[in-house]
Amino acid sequence: MAPALSGTLGASSVAALRPCAGRRAPSAASSVAPRGSGVVRCSRGLRWDAHRSRGRLLRVRCDAAVVEKPAGEEAAGEKFEYQAEVSRLMDLIVHSLYSHKEVFLRELVSNASDALDKLRFLGVTDSSLLADGGELEIRIKPDLDAGTITITDTGVGMTKDELKDCLGTIAQSGTSKFLKALKENKDLGADNGLIGQFGVGFYSAFLVAEKVVVSTKSPKSDKQYVWEAVADSSSYVIKEETDPEKMLTRGTQITLFLRPDDKYEFADPSRIQGLVKNYSQFVSFPIYTWQEKSRTVEVEEDEEPKEVEEATKGEKKKKTITEKYWDWELANETKPIWMRNPKEIENTEYNEFYKKTFNEFLDPLAHTHFTTEGEVEFRSVLYVPGMAPLSNEEIMNPKTKNIRLYVKRVFISDDFDGELFPRYLSFVKGVVDSNDLPLNVSREILQESRIVRIMRKRLVRKTFDMIEEIAEKEDKEDYKKFWESFGKFIKLGCIEDTGNHKRLAPLLRFHSSKNEGDLISLDQYVESMPESQKAIYYIATDSLQSAKTAPFLEKLVQKDIEVLYLIEPIDEVAIQNLQTYKEKKFVDISKEDLELGDEEEETKETKQEFTLLCDWVKQQLGDKVAKVQISKRLSSSPCVLVSGKFGWSANMERLMKAQTLGDTSSLEFMRGRRIFEINPDHPIIKDLSAACKNEPESTEARRAVELLYEAALISSGYTPESPAELGGKIYEMMAIALGGRWGRSDMEEAEASTGEASAEADSSEGTVAEVIEPSEVRPESDPWRDQ
């Protein structure tokens, strides 16, 4: 008997209380105590002890006792009060603890599985407990007409005291007590197959039920008891079962009387079977559901007319019809493959499990099956899918529902936000089963803890091992498929996971100036580097064709130096986050201060000669460029525009401009300075050098410098500020270059000039030409012409 109320009241407070003799107290909280000291028993079994102490304080103690059974109410059963503040606690369970109503079936099936596990364990030492009870199984029968769901197991069952202890005390787990007793008995050991760890799983039934009836028969007792409770009630009833038709041999039967809103959803047999397959598919005991089935049978046709009947003389025709019937169907046919020894499982079994579990049609590229022991113990099977997600929403989405978390073979959740896998590995699919995960009370949310971090670290490591096995295969087609599908994910990992750079970098693949058709790894690049080369060179563009024709490559290709082509938007950011690979720095060849290792010293005469040209060109371009200098990277192009060492490259500037929420202020800041490099060996530069010396004020020379800058802007990957203005300059230069080249006659030139002059005159006078509508133009033979 647990105390329901205990406190100290002032005398004035006690004086305000009215005696309860002769009337029924509504509850323990509203019961009253008489004046003076002594003991008074109220009609509902509430006993008040009033003791006067010093001063004006009166100590009152109220003990809640079991209500005494009136005579003649034997059939109604005994009524008990919950040993908790039920109204608030039940409200928390029903409205706050669980996020989905459907989990009630998972909880009840898990409890049934525990009951079967307990019986199997106890039956090892006492075989009489297993006698005459049938197979260890769970059966679920929905009834849409009655609006009920009945869940029956042939487990250990409960006695009357166990009913009061387990179902009458909310948040008390009978499974936890059972495990504790086993651990204390060292001779028996502990059974890790038990699922329940919190005592609120049973009460999830009230998520969908307005009334719950539990009928249970323990092999330790000759009597069968019925527990009954209504939602939002503070009490429950326990009575002895007397109906012979409802007697159980052994085990527990739970009947849920569904709410009207949930009746048509959860009393549907197909819905029940789907929930079992989702949450309890790998429970170690068979689960049968009551399903409607169909079969074809042959029946005799209806009676025919007498004339036909006499002609056939006893020959009766038969027809085939489809007949519907109800029967039990096994819902958890798939066995948990991760619980078996990997050496005993064929690849075809792994592939079949993958397709069935994740609704895939292609075989996975690779799989890994492992068991982790030590600080954290769990089993897992992970897969690399055969193709990338078809939906763009699933790409780079941490909530892809690709990892299914189980606790003791019961499905917990597949909705994670980076707890078990980082975002860049969200394409990996698989199952994780642990016996001791830190879950919350409702077993839906994975709590952030040291155990979860250890699990995440080991899952990521095993995933890298699996991908590396694909990369190391002699048949490179598998890794080619992997890279086409999931290469972007690996590059994203280089940005987000700095701790795993050493494992991510060898998995990267790129086109290069020496391998335009095939992709190469960074290891292959480093192995083919000459000893004098101290860096890994790359160029970032928007396409492979742009990379191959970029002017920055000219001197490097001439010196047989390999350059990586970064042609995807994420490539440049990934490489910049890596910074180095095997002590070799990554160098962008489109930026200033490019060092190739064997630069020749320029003569003083060359420096003096082109220093004057550089100053003159800088004067013409003004603030468009930071400086003009002689280039070390050009061999055939006249000039190139390179970005500053610490600013954005042309490719990065293009990407940032394309951002929907791009910040123009940061764009101007990060764009940095641009450097105009010229090739002193090119004829155009030599002509400009002569113009600088002989005619520095020439209008044609200045226009040539501006056009040269605009052309360098485009060839270097930048976007001109005014494309139309650039087009006009090109047309003008073409007219000068092509004028009269192919012998255009003087008469045509005169007509052309006359036409231009008349067009200018018309436009200056503002005259408008008469426009004749097509309907007004009529031929000579038109009969309606004169009308």
Q: State how far the Cα of 240 lies from the Cα of 217, in Å rounded to an integer.
A: 10
Provide the CATH number for the domain formed by 337-472 in this structure.
3.30.230.80
User: What residue segments make up the domains of the chain, in order of their start?
Assistant: 86-184+192-290, 337-472, 508-588, 604-660+668-736
DSSP lists the bridge partners of residue 677 as 629, 640
Helix, strand or coil, per DSSP, at residue 663:
coil
DSSP lists the bridge partners of residue 406 as 411, 433
Closest CA to 49 of 63, 60, 65: 60
Decide if pLDDT at 45 tops 80.
Answer: no
Decide if pLDDT at 469 tops 90.
Answer: yes
The single-letter code of the amino acid at 34 is P
Binning pLDDT at 50, 70 and 90, where does residue 10 land?
very low
Q: Is residue 750 left, alpha or beta, with left meaning phi > 0 and alpha meaning psi from -120 to 50?
A: alpha
Q: Is residue 43 left, alpha or beta, with left meaning phi > 0 and alpha meaning psi from -120 to 50?
A: alpha
What Rg, from alpha-carbon coordinates, does the chain have?
A: 43
Decide if pLDDT at 125 tops 60.
Answer: yes
Question: What strands, in cross-sheet order, belong to the sheet with 38-41?
Answer: 3-10, 57-64, 46-52, 38-41
Kindly give, in sequence order, each residue whose CB lies less than 8 Å from that of residue 158, ignoring residues fewer than 6 positions away: 166, 167, 174, 216, 218, 225, 252
Side-chain half-sphere exposure of 745, counting CA atoms within 13 A: 3
Q: State how far the Cα of 255 lies from the Cα of 141, in Å rounded to an integer.
A: 9
Q: What is the pLDDT of residue 124?
A: 79
According to DSSP, the β-strands at 563-566 and 535-540 are parallel
Least confident of 34-48, 64-78, 93-107, 129-143: 34-48
Q: What is the pLDDT of residues 354-404, one digit of tens each?
A: 998 888 889 999 999 999 988 788 999 999 999 887 765 555 565 667 888
Q: Which residue has the higher pLDDT, 771 or 101?
A: 101
Q: What is the pLDDT of residue 48?
A: 42
DSSP lists the bridge partners of residue 378 as 372, 434
Token digits of residue 596: 């190739």
Q: State how far the Cα of 274 lies from the Cα of 262, in Å rounded to an integer.
A: 16
Mean pLDDT, rounded, for 70-94: 61
High-pLDDT (> 90) share of the chain, %:
30
Q: Which residue has the higher pLDDT, 749 or 717?
A: 717
Decide if pLDDT at 212 tops 90.
Answer: yes
Kindly provide the residue ranges of all beta strands, DSSP E only, lying in 400-466, ordered along the sequence.
403-407, 410-413, 429-434
Kindly give, in sequence order, each residue whose CB lies less than 8 Å from that of residue 283, ignoring residues fewer than 6 positions away: 109, 110, 113, 138, 332, 409, 410
Decide if pLDDT at 458 tops 80.
Answer: yes
DSSP 39: E
306 backbone dihedrals φ, ψ, rounded to 5°: -65, -35
The single-letter code of the amino acid at 425 is L
Decide if pLDDT at 113 tops 60.
Answer: yes
Q: State how far the Cα of 683 lies from the Cα of 198, in Å rounded to an integer.
A: 85
Q: What is the pLDDT of residue 27?
A: 40
Closest CA to 407 of 193, 200, 201: 193
Longest dimension (CA), the chain: 135
Decide if pLDDT at 409 tops 90.
Answer: no
322 backbone dihedrals φ, ψ, rounded to 5°: -100, 125
Closest CA to 338 of 155, 462, 203: 462
| Angle between helix 174-184 and helix 103-125 axes, rounded to 10 deg | 30
Q: Which residues are annotated as a binding site?
A: 107, 111, 153, 158, 173-174, 197-202, 252, 443
Q: State how far the Cα of 605 lies from the Cα of 583, in Å rounded to an integer.
A: 39
Q: What is the pLDDT of residues 610-643, one digit of tens each?
A: 888 999 999 999 988 999 988 888 889 999 999 8
Binning pLDDT at 50, 70 and 90, where does residue 336 land?
confident
High-pLDDT (> 70) share of the chain, %:
70
Kindly provide the residue ranges of all beta strands, DSSP E only, lying in 423-569, ordered along the sequence.
429-434, 511-512, 535-540, 563-566
Binning pLDDT at 50, 70 and 90, where does residue 47 land?
very low
Q: What is the pLDDT of residue 518?
A: 87
DSSP lists the bridge partners of residue 58 as 9, 52
Q: What is the pLDDT of residue 40?
A: 43
The single-letter code of the amino acid at 228 is E
DSSP lists the bridge partners of residue 404 as 431
The separation between the first and the last C-alpha atoms of the chain, rounded to the nearest angstrom, is 118
Q: What is the pLDDT of residue 601?
A: 53
Mean pLDDT, rounded, for 91-95: 66
Least confident of 10-14, 221-225, 690-694: 10-14
Number of residues that make up the chain = 787
Q: What is the pLDDT of residue 598?
A: 56
Provide the whole-model pTM: 0.70
Residue range 604-660+668-736 in CATH 1.20.120.790: yes
Decide if pLDDT at 510 tops 50.
Answer: yes
The single-letter code of the amino acid at 450 is R
Residue 225's H or E segment, with its range, is strand 224-230
Q: Which residues are annotated as a binding site for ATP?
A: 107, 111, 153, 158, 173-174, 197-202, 252, 443
Binning pLDDT at 50, 70 and 90, where does residue 580 land?
very high
Binning pLDDT at 50, 70 and 90, where does residue 412 land?
confident
Q: What is the pLDDT of residue 376?
A: 82
Mean pLDDT, rounded, for 567-584: 92
Q: What is the pLDDT of residues 304-315, one digit of tens each?
A: 555 545 555 555
Binning pLDDT at 50, 70 and 90, where does residue 353 land?
very high
Provide the CATH number for the domain formed by 508-588 in this structure.
3.40.50.11260
36 class by beta-carbon count within 10 Å (0-12 exposed, 13-18 middle, 19+ buried): exposed
Least confident of 153-157, 224-228, 643-647, 665-669: 665-669
Helices then strands, each counted (H, E), the chain:
23, 26
Contact by Cβ (8 Å): 702, 620: yes
The single-letter code of the amino acid at 779 is P
Least confident of 110-124, 181-195, 328-342: 181-195
Side-chain half-sphere exposure of 106, counting CA atoms within 13 A: 25
Token digits of residue 193: 């197959």
Residue range 86-184+192-290 in CATH 3.90.79.10: no
CA distances from 744 to 730, 733, 748, 758 (A): 21, 18, 7, 21
DSSP 510: B
